């Protein structure tokens, strides 16, 4: 059975927000792109998200079967992610109210994203008698096991909330095999209810382009070594690792300095919001003011030009459930140097589409970057391999596999012995 209509819940961040700052990132891209591809296959999608401005329309019709519904729950501005659990009851009530005005059976599936949404999704599932499919995106236990220096651990309340959602979901979608194992080993998820579905890349937007044209349009020198960082500026993403590696690289190869450009495309997020100038201060401290360029978050089409203009994209994260930046960069024909953590070990084909670095030691990162920039023939081989590897991550495949997960969730719901327990009292 293919569902006619899916209620997606993305409570803490809207798929309409600009990725790269605040709480907006790869999950935002995931939700809107998956919704669009499902709609193209005949399944309409309503995305419920918390309204963050009184100026937002209650419903935004994105066209072609996708609508974003802004739910009023708490003050429009000023709430941090840690304060959102207090608004779960209000948010859930408004979601149920929105469905109540429709005909019985309006939604066939609830698909929640991130643990906060999963708590609301479990309540909606029990009220509407439809299956709950949940995507974690990130997990507290995983993040806390690999904290970056200066980062703040996730609280016990989130760990408990995640365990409750894992227990309640009819099906869990994991981005990679490693995430599936983490769900099973760390959260005691039923292996039969965990399915691996890789996120996708819009291969029409992120594709190989003429590098000279891209650089000319962005004001970059044609002969430059461009080492790009793209994403939210927070400790988890490791931008300071890249800057220290660049300083180490230049100390050993000062002749590269005149040609080196390091664009940092993104804005503060998470713990980075507490010290929004910290990365700029580190840049000055390391004497890299003539090398590093800070660029505000940009739209997908513009980001594709930055990828195409880069010599290499650095992804020094301490953890990634998938690693969308690495996938997008490779689809654009640009090699990646990434940390060998989380989903990046799936997204990057080491030695063929990019290089994986074990750990975050500055000398190891500097050596890997230097190889891609200067080793004879390596960049060309990796660039060709990057395009070929990225072809396996199209959104169309993601949508097809997600629809199969929905079918399995319906089967689990119809089987009284296989039905997960509800979250009775969770939101009280």
For residue range 157-173, what is the model confidence (pLDDT) as tens digits?
Answer: 999 999 999 999 999 99
Q: What is the pTM of this model?
A: 0.88
Nearest of 181, 180, 188, 124 to residue 162 by alpha carbon: 188
Secondary structure class of 394 (helix, strand, coil): strand
Asked whether residue 205 is assigned to any structural domain, the reply reads: no
Same domain for 307 and 215: yes
Residue with tokens 């209509």: 5
Task: Categorize the per-residue pLDDT at 12 as very low, low, confident or very high, splitting at 50, 70 and 90.
Answer: confident
Tally the residues of the chain: 428
Asked whether residue 424 is assigned to any structural domain, the reply reads: no
Give dist(CA 322, CA 200) in Å, integer.
Answer: 10
Give dist(CA 79, CA 134) in Å, integer.
Answer: 24
Count the neighbouring beta carbons within 10 Å of the beta carbon of residue 402.
26
Q: How many domains does the chain have?
A: 2
Same domain for 302 and 185: no
Residue partners of 135: CB distance under 8 A and separation at least 6: 30, 111, 112, 113, 114, 172, 173, 175
Secondary structure class of 239 (helix, strand, coil): helix
List the strands of the sheet with 354-357, edge to edge.
Answer: 292-295, 260-265, 225-230, 312-315, 336-339, 354-357
Asked whether residue 82 is assigned to any structural domain, the reply reads: yes
Asked whether residue 426 is assigned to any structural domain, the reply reads: no
Q: How far, rounded to the nearest angstrom, does the alpha carbon of residue 60 sit from its chain's CA centroid?
A: 22
Binding-site residues for UDP-N-acetyl-alpha-D-glucosamine, please? 18-19, 26, 232, 237, 298, 320, 328
- Which residues are registered as beta bridge partners of 24? 21
Same domain for 407 and 388: no
Secondary structure class of 5 (helix, strand, coil): strand
Same domain for 304 and 325: yes
Nearest of 162, 23, 149, 11 to residue 90 by alpha carbon: 11
Residue 145 domain boundaries: 5-200+394-414
Give dist(CA 229, CA 332) in Å, integer.
Answer: 15
- What is the distance between the terminal CA atoms of the chain, rounded to a whole angstrom? 34
Same domain for 96 and 66: yes
Same domain for 97 and 80: yes
SS3 readout for 84-103: HHHHHHHHHHHHHHHHHCCC
pLDDT computed for residue 416 by the predictor: 45
Instruction: Report CA-CA distances (Å) from 115 to 9, 127, 163, 264, 290.
Output: 10, 19, 9, 29, 42
Does 427 have pLDDT greater than 90? no
Q: How many CA atoms lie within 13 A of 275 on its CB side?
A: 10
Same domain for 399 and 388: no
Residue partners of 94: CB distance under 8 A and separation at least 6: 71, 72, 73
pLDDT computed for residue 20 by the predictor: 60
Secondary structure class of 230 (helix, strand, coil): strand
Least confident of 21-35, 169-183, 243-257, 373-387: 21-35
Asked whether residue 409 is assigned to any structural domain, the reply reads: yes
Q: 45 and 18 in contact (C-beta within 8 Å)?
A: no
Same domain for 283 and 195: no
Does 234 have pLDDT greater than 90? no
Q: pLDDT of 327-364, one tens digit each?
A: 999 999 999 999 999 999 999 999 999 999 999 999 99
Same domain for 168 and 35: yes
Give dist(CA 36, CA 83) in Å, integer.
Answer: 30
Binding-site residues for Mg(2+), please? 307, 310, 334
Binding-site residues, please? 12, 18-19, 23-28, 81, 114, 138, 158, 232, 237, 298, 307, 310, 320, 328, 334
Asked whether residue 398 is assigned to any structural domain, the reply reads: yes
Same domain for 230 and 194: no
Mean pLDDT of 378-397: 96
CATH number at residue 48: 3.40.50.2000
Q: 230 and 325 in contact (C-beta within 8 Å)?
A: yes
């Amino acid at each position: 059975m293919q569902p006619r209509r899916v209620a997606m819940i993305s409570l803490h961040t809207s798929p309409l927000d600009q990725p790269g700052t605040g709480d907006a990132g790869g999950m935002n891209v995931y939700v809107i792109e998956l919704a669009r591809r499902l709609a193209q296959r005949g399944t309409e999608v309503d995305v419920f998200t918390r309204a963050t401005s009184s100026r937002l329309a209650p419903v935004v019709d994105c066209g072609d079967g996708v609508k974003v519904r802004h739910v009023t729950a708490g003050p429009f501005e000023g709430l941090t992610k840690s304060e959102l659990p207090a608004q779960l009851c209000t948010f859930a009530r408004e979601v149920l109210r929105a469905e109540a005005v429709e005909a019985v059976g309006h939604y066939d599936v609830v698909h929640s994203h991130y643990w906060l949404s999963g708590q609301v999704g479990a309540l909606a599932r029990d009220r509407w008698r439809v299956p709950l499919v949940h995507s974690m995106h990130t997990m507290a236990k995983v993040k806390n096991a690999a904290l970056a220096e200066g980062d703040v651990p996730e609280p016990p309340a989130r760990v408990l909330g995640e365990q409750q959602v894992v227990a309640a979901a009819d099906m869990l979608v994991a981005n990679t095999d490693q995430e599936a194992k983490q769900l099973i080993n760390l959260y005691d998820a039923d292996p039969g209810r965990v399915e691996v579905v890789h996120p996708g890349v819009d291969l029409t937007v992120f594709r190989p382009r003429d590098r000279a044209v891209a650089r000319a349009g962005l004001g970059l020198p044609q002969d430059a070594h461009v080492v790009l960082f793209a994403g939210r500026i927070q400790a988890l993403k490791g931008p300071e690792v890249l800057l220290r590696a660049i300083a180490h690289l230049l100390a050993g190869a000062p002749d590269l300095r005149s040609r080196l450009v390091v664009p940092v495309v993104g804005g503060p997020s998470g713990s980075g919001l507490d010290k929004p100038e910290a990365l700029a201060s580190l840049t000055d401290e390391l004497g890299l003011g003539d090398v590093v360029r800070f660029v505000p978050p940009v739209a997908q089409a513009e980001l594709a030009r930055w990828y195409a203009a880069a010599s290499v994209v650095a992804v020094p994260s301490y953890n990634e459930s998938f690693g969308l930046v690495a996938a997008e960069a490779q689809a654009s024909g640009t090699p990646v140097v990434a940390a060998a953590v989380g989903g990046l070990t799936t997204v990057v084909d080491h030695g063929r589409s990019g290089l994986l670095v074990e750990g975050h030691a500055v000398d190891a990162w500097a050596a890997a970057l230097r190889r891609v920039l200067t080793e004879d023939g390596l960049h060309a081989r990796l660039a060709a391999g990057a395009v070929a590897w990225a072809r396996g991550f199209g959104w169309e495949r993601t949508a097809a596999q997600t629809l199969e997960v929905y079918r399995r969730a319906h089967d689990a719901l119809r089987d009284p012995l296989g039905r997960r327990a509800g979250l009775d009292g969770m939101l009280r």
